[in-house]
Homo-oligomer: A and B are copies of this chain.
């Protein structure tokens, strides 16, 4: 809900609520790739009819998270790291635009949230948990987007982020060295946040964008390597 926007009907609010709920479930793998969602079940859960649910599903389909097939069902799309290379490449380029295009210096409240995330990250090092890590990553992303005042850039980055974020949980869950990978990712993430907060505190938002860019690219490279164990070829980004 954007500030300053007309409160509007509560119908819109319910629509947004269902949308965010389903999107989170898909991206946290509560709805794993390939799972079939029944519109009537969702309608029952949200105490409504199929009609509003279908609008949400249509949007999630436009965004590439779902695929409705007549006579079959509404299916959570599967993702492969190879198919996401283009999206990652674009995310890498866009990361640099934060802090360069319409830079928006964070206020005290936002800095407090950054520190809160860092604290939760330290907690996570002691008790690693993939799902909590994914959530933390998500919240950090939303905080990071506020580095720019450019609304379309925020919206587009969000769209691309949610197209890719599942791949980490999916890849990790299949791996033998699951625990090691998780702990490593948490440490890397901790360093990324620390560095970005440091850059912001210096007032150097451009640097924050560059750090973010590097980490997105490296994250892709690690996922690519994990999915291609004997791959002689390096990650294409």
Binding site for B on A (CB under 8 A): 9, 11, 55, 58-59, 62, 70, 86-87, 89-90, 93, 97, 101-102, 149-153, 156, 159-160, 163
Contacts and interface: CB of A to CB of B under 8 A. Distances in A.
Contact of A86 (B70, B90, B102): B102
Given A62-B62, A156-B156, A97 B93 contact: yes
Contacts of A150: 86, 89-90
Contacts of A62: 59, 62
Contact of A90 (B9, B152, B163): B152
Nearest to A153: B90
5 tightest Cβ-Cβ pairs between the two chains A and B:
A86-B150, A90-B152, A87-B152, A90-B153, A156-B156
Contacts of A160: 152
A70 B9 CA distance: 8
Given A90-B152, A90-B156, A93-B97, 11 more contacts: A11-B70, A55-B55, A62-B62, A86-B149, A86-B150, A86-B151, A89-B101, A89-B150, A90-B101, A156-B156, A156-B159
A11 B69 CA distance: 11
A100 B151 CA distance: 24
Contact of A59 (B9, B58, B86, B90): B58
A20 to B, nearest CB: 14
A59 B97 CA distance: 27
B11 A86 contact: no
5 contacts: A58-B59, A59-B59, A86-B102, A93-B101, A152-B163
Instruction: Pick from A9, A86, A152, A163 the residue with the most CB of B within 10 Å.
Output: A152
A39 to B, nearest CB: 14
Contacts of A59: 58-59, 62
A207 to B, nearest CB: 18
Contacts of A97: 90, 93
Nearest to A12: B70
B152 A86 contact: yes
A150 B9 CA distance: 38
A156 B153 CA distance: 10
Nearest to A86: B150
